[in-house]
Structure 1
Amino acid sequence: MSVRLASFLAVVTALTACQPAPEAPGETETAEPALTIERLHASPSLTGATPRSLTFSPDGSRVTFLRAKDDDASVLDLWAMDIDGGEPYLLVDSQVLAPDERELTEAERQLRERARISSTGIVRYDWDSQGEAILVPLDGDVFHVDVATGQARRLMETPEYETDARISPRGNFVSFVREQNLYVIDLESGEETAITSEGGGLVSFGMAEFVAQEELGRRTGYWWSPDEQYIALARVDESPVDNIQRMEIGADGSARVVDQRYPRAGTDNAIVELFIAERATGTRRQVELAQTDDIYLARVNWASDSATAYVQVLNRMQDQLTILTADPATGEAAPWLVENTDIWINLTNDFRALSDGTVLWTSEDTPGGFRHIQHRAADGSLINQVTSGDWVVGSINSVDMDNSLVYFTGWIETPLERHIYSVPLDGSAAPTRITSGDGRWSARFGRDATRFIGTYSDPQTPPQTALYAVDGSRIRWIEENALVEGHPYAPYLDDHITPQYGTLTAADGTELHYQIFLPADFDPNRQYPAIQYLYGGPHSQQVHRGWQSLRAQMFAQRGYVYFTIDNRGSWNRGREFEGQLRHRMGSVEVEDQLVGLDYLKSLDFVDADRVGIWGWSYGGYMTLMATLQAPDAWAAGVAGAPVTDWTLYDTAYTERYMGHPDANFDGYEQSSVFAHLDSYETPLLLIHGMADDNVIFANSVRLYSELQQQRADFEMMTYPGQRHGVRGEDRSVHLWTMIVNYFNHQLKDEG
């Protein structure tokens, strides 16, 4: 193993070389930190005011965003700021529109769970095309808000719950799903029209099925044409999908059996068909997606002239993506582009149909699998490669057709920093970086691509949002969120610990990035317990130079070294880096985490006998696999909501990375926790929500049973009514008090 040390470690090594041997563990106590677990989860958020869902009004005169209430960080309101000047102002108060928001339906609850929305109040909104009104779904109904007057009109007041409400592209209609059917309201006449009426039971129209929401990043099932003449809509038939009966134990002790159509790996998916409906008549024409119905409907986009719908279709194994062009007048479709890979296809939202009939698109069909921008002709042929190189394009932000420029987010200089760049549409010059700093940026551009809303953070700077010109110069703050007196985090700033960064080398020579938080009042002559945090799975990057979760501060300020390494298989390093776990999850990830552990234990200030490990979801799975494959490596572990057997998880995610169980029996066997359970030795705390509809509770129940059969000693905590995450201030305080106490007991011998 070769190691390239960060500069701070060179200093620590030099200091250690001329100092006495480290003190024995426990000789010096760490002062009780000011940052308590209770304050960490109270309101207002310690991160400060962090506006979300930022966008420009269509006329470019305002910026709108969602902001949490000062006295309750879980409730969101809609705010606005005029571009020409003035302070941000409250545009729509959620509690004025709906003082007593009714209970969510199961469909809406699942939509929010899939989108990881834990807030209440206004959680989404939609501008009309003229910038005169905003659509606000709230309280199960839909409000149409006049921006000039602030007056809100409730478009319906029904006992049913309306979901996925949107304003049509030209602002003449509002569409929504009710009782598994798609409806449209004419805003001028108020007339409501059912586009479909056959939905009900196991059949729905205009909705995304479970795996599309959870694993494909598609949370809608209908798409307006720009001229409002057509609506492309999905028909979903869940009758082939296995019915998984889950026992949900509620917070009040009640129990109910929930029938959930959950397609486990190797079983049948829902049948998804695509139709294009004429809005005026309701006439529907089916688009043939493939020769088989065992496919995934991935994305639908429209040409700017509404003459063509572009339909992205994945095969079941997700190693082939076909983009079809469909004629809305006939439903006839033909292949426009086909991509194949021996790894898997990663979907994006980067398809941009331009006004001249050409298309911008990002693809990983490049050397090394690095995602880059392509400019394609109307017939799908490649005009030119816009970007290239051993780095990753994150997403296309905007296209300036007048100046032939493309703006995008990417990781060019280092995978730890994310910046905004511009590049000529013809690819004739290298990208130009337009943002500054050593952290992470995100951006939302206006329609004319002359300004953007930019949000920046780094390890010492919580998210700051401002309005910027396209050269990167700041025009004005939207939310400076400065760490000054009055900021929620200001009282704790003196104790803030900044992570240090470095790289290690995997067994195959691959460079791996890590970050490390040193304990409060760090003394190189002491030895400290350490905690290794991990996720480890695809589509996740934990090591970066953005603002970090304050959980790291929580542990470091309590005397722990807090360490994270991104193993092979993680995100933003190209598809070949990610694809090394293909068909063998729980293998190379564990190898690389052990590289990190070996390095951690080699540090003089780390007590090698007192290193713990923890993670949630895939990180919970990794905690189990790491401690079982290296039973004497870690002193204790905490596994939250873990997958324990990939045959229990859903088709789209599992088969993308593992293939079909029938074709990879040995891979599934070795990737299961139960194949390694005879090596159980490391003390574990196991945690799961009893209403988890993603990693279903059965994963942990089976593990509890097997460990009990082995007479193994372990601890467990279940959360009634909680799904894949533990929500709410009181439960969060309970959860993290328990985890900290567990590690204190196992690694510090406290309690």
Structure 2
Amino acid sequence: MKKNWMSLLLASLPLVLSSTAAQASSLPGGTEPLTIERMYASPALAGSSPRGLKLSPDGKRVTYLAGRKDNQHLYDLWQMDVATGKQSLLIDADKLEAGELSDEEKARRERQRIYGQGIMEYFWSKDGEAILIPAAGQLYYYSVADNKVKLLATGEGFATDARLSPKGHFVSFVREQNLYVLDLKTQDITALTTDGGGAIKNAMAEFVAQEEMGRMTGYWWAPDESAIAYTRIDESGVELVTRNEIYADGIKLTEQRYPYAGENNVKVELGVVTLKDKQVAWVDLGKDTDIYLPRVKWLPDSKHLSYQWQSRDQQALDLRVVAIDDIKNDKDLVKERSEAWVNLNDDLHFLKQQKAFIWASERDGFNHLYLIGLDGKVIRQLTSGDWAVDAVEYIDEKAGEVYFTGRKTKVTEKQLYRVALAGGKVESISQRSGMHSTVFADNKPVYLDYFSSLSQPPQVSLHDQSGKRLAWVEQNEVKKGHPLYDYFGLWQVPEFGELKAEDGQMLQYRLFKPTNFDANKQYPVVVRVYGGPHAQLVVNSWSHQDYFTQHLLQQGYIVYQLDNRGSAHRGTKFEYVIYKQLGEVEVNDQKVGVDHLRTLPYVDSGNIAIYGHSYGGYMALMSIFKAPDYFKAAISGAPVSDWSLYDTHYTERYMGNPTTNAEGYEASSVLPYVGGYESGLLMYHGMADDNVLFENSTRVYKALQDEGKLFQMIDYPGSKHSMRGEKVRVHLYRSLADFLDRELKGN
């Protein structure tokens, strides 16, 4: 009966258009099963995977942060001499005084997705003579000349968002909501602002700027060190909510200014303070104060300041420039408009040798690069086509070339390319299939390539402008002695393919077959989903999130992933279809994926589960509530359940304002669909989550209980949104594996 039903279904299914592999394959290495306990234990399975990669300004040394073998979460600062390839410990984290992070810094690190201990960030001076190291509220200064680290006297209080000034003469930092500058020559400290406190924050990024705009700072040095531009935010109009952060040994009441969708945002001002006399001049941002300030950047002459003005509905983004000596009068250089929303990016680059700048825009449907004059007129479009640029990586003005990463070769891979400022053909620089992230030297086109693929944990190598590898920083070859080697013989590489969505657009998927796959058997399936905008799961890239996938494959599961419409790197047509109603086309596309799975003879179509976290948790709920005939079980982690509970900038970007789209908000909530749920749901949430608030899950718990619906829940005391900590993750994944075995295998 099942086979007859599937054969009838074949005729109506979308066509599978391509596949890059005939079947799942394993890799050379040992065949020890991957246990959940081993997934996140030390040493790290991925081997030595440096983070915080930088080239010194003179290009003579590579610096990076590396976790220790006995504690992969404790980082020291290392260096490699480019000429000799010799690597050595530069700064031992044990030499820095350990201290407790402030609540503000803990929240900031959560927004930055920075996790770990020891040295977590560092900054080179522009002349390459020094390194600044923030550590637990203290600031340390390393001098290259004398090879010594000293603690800077920054006064009482926690110093955050510290950095070296452009010429290396000062260190700036924020303390108790005010901006300070330390003169490295005299050791004098100057408070550039004094009115910070309470609802007033100087030089600090507000919650939505950190969480949703990718702006982690609230101040910017002029290149000549004469002045600093900074934001002054007033949070008094934002609702002050008391969050209950539930820990194992008690409840912590935390007051937070949380801007719920449709409610008030902070009021933001942009000022410029001079170092010489501490005088502040305020930029006229316009009469409308209900706006966003996502980006600020100085022009190279230090006489002009640019800022990006974004409307509350995010359908308008203006690039404006003001002269410092005429700061009340601004000039529009670029106006971006959309009937849905305008995506932000970091690709504004003012040139030094001509009166022009590089600007990234999706105005033709895909993110591409434009050369624009300081008069606002487009000189030329540098890249074009039905593919997207990721980011500008380096501009070589002398050679007249722009290096950038993008998806021109394949949407599932990120490669490095080059194009002339004068226009012309886009040239490929990187060669290997996979994901390339690059870090260039300041003054020459030599770069570090952070590369990974599904079959290669992250590697770091040094390359010249042609893409030729000059040296390995970390080859990270999986061979005997590597932490992964004993397990690698069972590692599975997926098949890639395409399906057609209901509107004719193509959807990318990848399918992992189980270890020791037998085409004559039928296997249960776990659909791993995220599904939200600005994300992509179907890639040829290494990810620690795939460790649980590999564990499931060894337990006899198929794991399937499909990037539905609304996800990243496919252009605005692909993304904008979710506008004003979330959880509709995304679920429809996941159903297309399941329809495809049902045609495969080795799929047990009666035993398919869906699992996701965050937006993926939302997708898991929507899928099992709205399409219970497609999914026998669902795992929903830290889900948004009602978009009126989420923040302004993210939610209104995709949903509009609740006052003008009440119907869309109702249709996008999971709560109206609770009645469609039958069985097989597990939910989990961190009880101290300050991103997707715990209330999102408790509302679902109550709705299901009121309906008399049976489900399971696991709540983690003290855990934030990302569910960090080895013990937490081991318990979580053991619980998920046990749930899947019971629901899909009857174990």
Q: Shorter-chain-normalised TM-score: which range?
A: over 0.9
Cα-to-partner distance string for 1:562-620 (whole Å, 9 max, x where unaligned)? 00000000001012211110111101000000000111122111111111110000000
Q: Counterpart of 1:283 in structure 2: which amino acid?
A: Q
Task: Give the one of 540, 555, 562 matched to 1:565.
Answer: 562
Higher alpha-carbon deviation: 652-661 or 574-583: 574-583
Mean CA deviation greater in 529-538 or 453-462: 453-462
Deviation, structure 1 residue 222: 0.1
Aligned partner letter, 1:4:
V
Among 424, 448, 463, the residue aligned to 1:468:
463
Q: Deviations over 1:295-336 (max 9, x none)?
A: 111111111111111101111011100111122234222222
Q: CA deviation at 1:55?
A: 1.2
Report the counterpart of residue 82 of structure 1 in structure 2: 81
Q: For residue 409 of structure 2, what is the aligned residue in structure 1?
A: 413
Task: Tell me how far 1:372 sits from its aligned partner.
Answer: 0.6
Q: Paired residue for 1:222?
A: 219
Residues 531-565 of structure 1 show CA distances to partners (whole Å, capped at 9, x for unaligned) of 00000000000001112422221111111000000
Equivalence map 1:630-641=2 (5 Å) = 630-641=627-638
Match of 1:205 in 2: 202
CA distance in 1, matches of 2:207, 2:683: 26
* Alignment partners' CA distance in 2, 1:509 and 1:54: 41
Q: How far is 1:157 from its partner?
A: 6.0
CA contact (8 A) 1:497 1:517 kept: yes
Among residues 570, 587, 595, which one is paired with 1:598 in the alignment? Answer: 595
Please give the alpha-carbon distance, in whole angstroms, between the structure 1 residues aligned to 2:598 and 2:398.
Answer: 57
Query: What is the 5 A alignment of 1:577-596?
Result: 577-596=574-593
Q: How does 1:13-412 map to 2 (within 5 A)?
A: 34-98=33-97, 101-156=98-153, 158-251=155-248, 253-332=249-328, 333-367=330-364, 369-412=365-408
Pick which of 353-362 and 463-472 moved more: 353-362
Q: Residues 221-264 of structure 1, C-alpha deviation per residue, up to 9 Å, x if partnerless?
A: 0000100001000001100001121111123x211211110000
What is the alpha-carbon distance in structure 2 between the residues aligned to residue 733 and residue 474 of structure 1?
A: 39
Structure 2 Cα separation of the partners of residues 224 and 120 of structure 1: 28
Partner of 1:731: 728
2:16 corresponds, among 1, 4, 28, to 4
State the shift of 1:632 in Å: 2.1
More off after superposition, 190-199 vs 65-74: 65-74
Deviation at 1:2, TM superposition (A): 2.3
Shift in Å, 1:360: 3.3
C-alpha contact (below 8 Å) 2:142/2:148 kept by paired residues: yes
Deviation at 1:3, TM superposition (A): 1.9
1:535 maps to 2:530? yes
The whole-number CA distance in structure 1 between the counterparts of 2:413 and 2:634 is 30
Which residue number in structure 2 is paired with residue 544 of structure 1?
Answer: 539
Deviation at 1:159, TM superposition (A): 4.5
The 3-state SS of whatever aligns with 1:637 is: strand
- Residue 592 of structure 2 aligns to a residue in which SS? helix
Q: Can you list the C-alpha shifts for 1:258-287, whole angstroms capped at 9, x where unaligned? A: 111000000000111100110121100000
Q: Distance in 1 between matches of 2:194 and 2:576?
A: 43
The one-letter code of the counterpart of 2:176 is E
Q: Which amino acid in structure 2 is aligned with residue 197 of structure 1? A: T
Equivalent residue for 1:642, pick from 622, 639, 643? 639
| Distance apart, 1:356 and its partner CA | 2.5
> Displacement of 1:472 after TM fit?
0.7
Mapping for residues 501-512 of structure 1, pairs under 5 Å: 501-512=496-507
**How far, CA to CA, are the matches of 2:394 and 2:17 in structure 1?**
39
Amino acid at match of 1:111: R
Give the CA deviation at 1:349.
0.9
Backbone CA RMSD of aligned residues: 1.5
State how far apart, in whole Å, the 1-side matches of 2:46 and 2:392 are: 28
Mapped to 1, the partners of 2:187 and 2:23 lie a distance apart of 71
- SS of the aligned residue for 1:663 comes to coil
* 1:415 alignment partner, SS class: coil
Between the aligned partners of 2:228 and 2:21, the Cα distance in structure 1 is 59
* Aligned partner of residue 611 in structure 2, secondary structure: strand
Q: Which segments of 5 or more consecutive residues in structure 2 lack a partner in the other structure?
A: 1-12, 25-30
Residues in 1 aligned to 2:572 and 2:204: alpha-carbon distance in whole angstroms: 30
1:235–1:275 contact (8 Å) kept in structure 2:
yes
What CA distance in whole angstroms lies between the structure 1 residues aligned with 2:451 and 2:23? 30
Deviation at 1:354, TM superposition (A): 0.8
Identify the residue that residue 27 of structure 1 maps to in structure 2.
none
Q: 1:653: how far off?
A: 0.1
Deviation at 1:290, TM superposition (A): 2.5
Query: Are the counterparts in 1 of residues 435 and 452 from structure 2 also a CA contact under 8 Å?
Result: yes
Q: Which amino acid aligns with 2:510?
A: Q
Following TM superposition, by how much is the alpha carbon of 1:396 offset from its aligned partner in structure 2, in angstroms? 0.4
Q: What amino acid is the match of 1:104?
A: L
| TM-score with structure 1 setting the length | 0.95
Does the 8 Å contact 1:385/1:426 carry over to 2? Answer: no
Give the distance between the partners of 2:152 and 2:23, measured in 1 at CA: 65
Q: Is the 8 A contact 1:294 1:316 kept in 2?
A: yes
Does the CA contact (< 8 Å) of 2:362 and 2:572 recur in 1?
no
Name the stretch that deviates more: 322-331 or 210-219. Answer: 322-331
Q: Match of 1:311, SS?
A: strand
Q: CA deviation at 1:167?
A: 0.0
Distance 1:8 1:335, change over 3 A: closer
Change in Cα spacing, 1:596 to 1:141, as seen in structure 2 (3 Å) is same
Rounded to whole Å, the distance in 2 between the matches of 1:158 and 1:563 is 54
Question: Which moves more between the two structures, 34-43 or 148-157?
Answer: 148-157
What is the rounded CA distance, in whole Å, between the counterparts of 2:404 and 2:383 in structure 1?
10
In 2, the alpha carbon distance for the partners of 1:290 and 1:684 equals 50
Work out the CA distance in 2 between the residues paired with 1:611 and 1:693: 32
For the residue of structure 2 that corresponds to 1:166, the secondary structure is strand
What is the one-letter code of the residue matched to 1:426? A
Q: 1:359 to 1:66 in 2, by over 3 A?
A: farther
Task: State the partner residue of 2:449.
Answer: 454
> Alpha-carbon deviations, 1:445-476, whole Å to 9, x = none?
11233311111111111111100011111000
- Give identity over the alignment, percent: 43
Distance, in Å, in 2 between the alignment partners of 1:202 and 1:591 is 44
Q: Which one has more relative contact order, counting CA pairs under 8 Å at least 6 apart?
A: 2
Deviation of 1:70 after TM superposition, in Å, equals 1.3
What SS is found at the alignment partner of 1:266? coil
**Distance (whole Å) between structure 2 residues aligned to residue 230 and residue 446 of structure 1:** 26
Query: What is the letter of the counterpart of residue 68 of structure 1?
Result: G
Separation in 1, partners of 2:451, 2:228: 37
TM-score by length of 2: 0.95
Match of 2:684 in 1: 687
Match for 2:444: what amino acid? A
Take 2:382 and 2:260, find their aligned partners in 1: how far apart are those partners? 40
